Amino acid sequence: SFALHWWASLAAANAEALRHGGEAQSLGSYLSSAQMWFESFQNWQSEFMSTAVLVVLSIVLRHKGSPESKPAAAAHSDTGA
CA 79 to CA 32: how far, in whole Å?
55
- The pLDDT averaged over each successive group of 10 residues in the chain (81 residues) is 88 94 93 90 84 87 67 74 52
**pTM exceeding 0.85:** no
pLDDT at 68: 62
Cβ atoms 31, 40 nearer than 8 A: no
pLDDT at 17: 93
Helix, strand and coil percent figures for the chain, each rounded to 5 = 70, 0, 30
Other CB atoms within a 10 A radius of the CB of residue 10 amount to 20
pLDDT at 42: 82
Strands (E), the chain: none
